[in-house]
Amino acid sequence: MNLRSKLKMLNKTLSFAKAMWCCNCFGFIKRRNPQKVKPAINSNLSQELLLEDDFDDEDSFCNDEVNNTTSGDDSEVQSRPKRSEDVLIFRVENDMICRQFPVKETHRVVRTEDENGNKMINEYIREYKIGSGSYGKVALYQSSVDGKHYAIKAFHKSHLLKLRVAPSETAMSDVLREVFIMKMLEHPNIVNLIEVIDDPESDNFYMVLEYVESKWVCEGSGPACALGEETARRYLRDIVSGLTYLHAHNIVHGDIKPDNLLVTRDGTVKIGDFSVSQAFEDDNDMLRRSPGTPVFTAPECILGITYSGKAADTWAVGVTLYCMILGEYPFLGDTLQDTYDRIVNNPIVLPKGLNPRLNTLIEGLLSKDPKQRMTLGDVAADSWVIGDDGPIPEYLCWCKRKNLEREDNDESNMLP
């Protein structure tokens, strides 16, 4: 069965909720005189949970099924954006995939052992476990065909179908959306999906990913965890390049943070983990849910019914830069209530003696007002980001290359 047929079948069989993580949303609060705003959250989550993205809070926001109304007239209702799943299916059916070569699809799982007793999945020999999450495990494997190492995420479909992330939705929809999004992308600063192994006769489901050697994790322990300006600049340039590519393809990551930024042996940063990402059919990137990590959540996600996913991603880049430079989180409280209160109300505090250009950049990224916040384009043009390396190189993606080839062919055909 080809990808198009599978997508159609999945679209029919999986009843995605009209509003994922349906919940009680906060109303948008406008205040002329700045006052402390206490988000109505009744939670005493530990700091450890505030740094994770898989907690289930009843006040998290709903998904991108949004009725946007114009200010002052609730009767003027704009068209409802399509769900990510609909957008992704449309892109596949219309060959709107930004990859030169498609992701390999394998529909048979053979579990064996090599001569040394190491477990094997098809051609891949297991070496050791890398990590685990709420949905599945990740292990390092080596291909017996090309000798390269790969990170393989393993899931049990039965577990995904039983694990509820909303009253009408299971974890399977999250995993499938992640797979569909990664099948469409190819960029040097984004972790590459190599192969999907899905045997209809097996409960096992595998994502074979490019293996990236390490990652930088902010422990929130102060200067000892900081990276220094040069390393932070290099990392930030890679993050901006990868995220700009995503946004240009109308995809919002939704959980930018150090833990999802993998670092290769040569120091290149690659964005990973698209489990909460969303796709849009156009520039209308309005969302109602905020399923990412609390300490990286933008203030408008806490106070607003709808918010711009791209602007929220950019805020998370600002928090990440703050962590890289200072080795701690800018608005981390003891509880979820306290953390959200600090994000909404507390001014950004930067130490004296910080590079003035860097100071301006961090303040611009962490502007409470998303309309005043720096965009990724602003960041790319910033003097501190440019430094001695010059502007961030523009990536000529497969989509652009195909369009340029078409234009060249059209011009050639028009010549006498």
Catalytic residues: 255
Q: What are phi and psi of 257, to 5 degrees?
A: -170, 160
Residues whose CB is less than 8 angstroms from the CB of residue 65 and which lie 6 or more positions away in sequence, other chains included: 18, 19, 20, 80, 81, 83, 288
Q: How far is CA 188 from CA 134, 210, 244, 288, in A?
A: 27, 11, 12, 30
Query: Is there a contact between 17 and 23 (Cβ–Cβ < 8 Å)?
Result: no
Helices (H), 249-308: 299-303
| 153 marked as part of a ligand binding site | yes
CA distance 101 to 107: 18
For residues 92 and 181, give the distance between their C-alpha atoms in angstroms, rounded to a whole number: 10
- Distance set, CA 371 to CA 300, 311, 314, 375, 382 (Å): 11, 8, 12, 9, 18
β-pair type (193-198, 104-106): parallel
The string of DSSP letters for 193-253 reads: EEEEEE-TT-SEEEEEEE---EE----S-SGGG---HHHHHHHHHHHHHHHHHHHHTTEE-
What is the identity of the amino acid at 18? K
Q: How far apart are CA 342 and CA 330, in angstroms?
A: 9
Answer for the pair 239, 198: CB distance below 8 angstroms, yes or no.
no
Angle at 31 between CA 30 and CA 34, to 5 degrees: 140
Extract the annotated binding site for ATP.
153
Extract the annotated binding site.
153
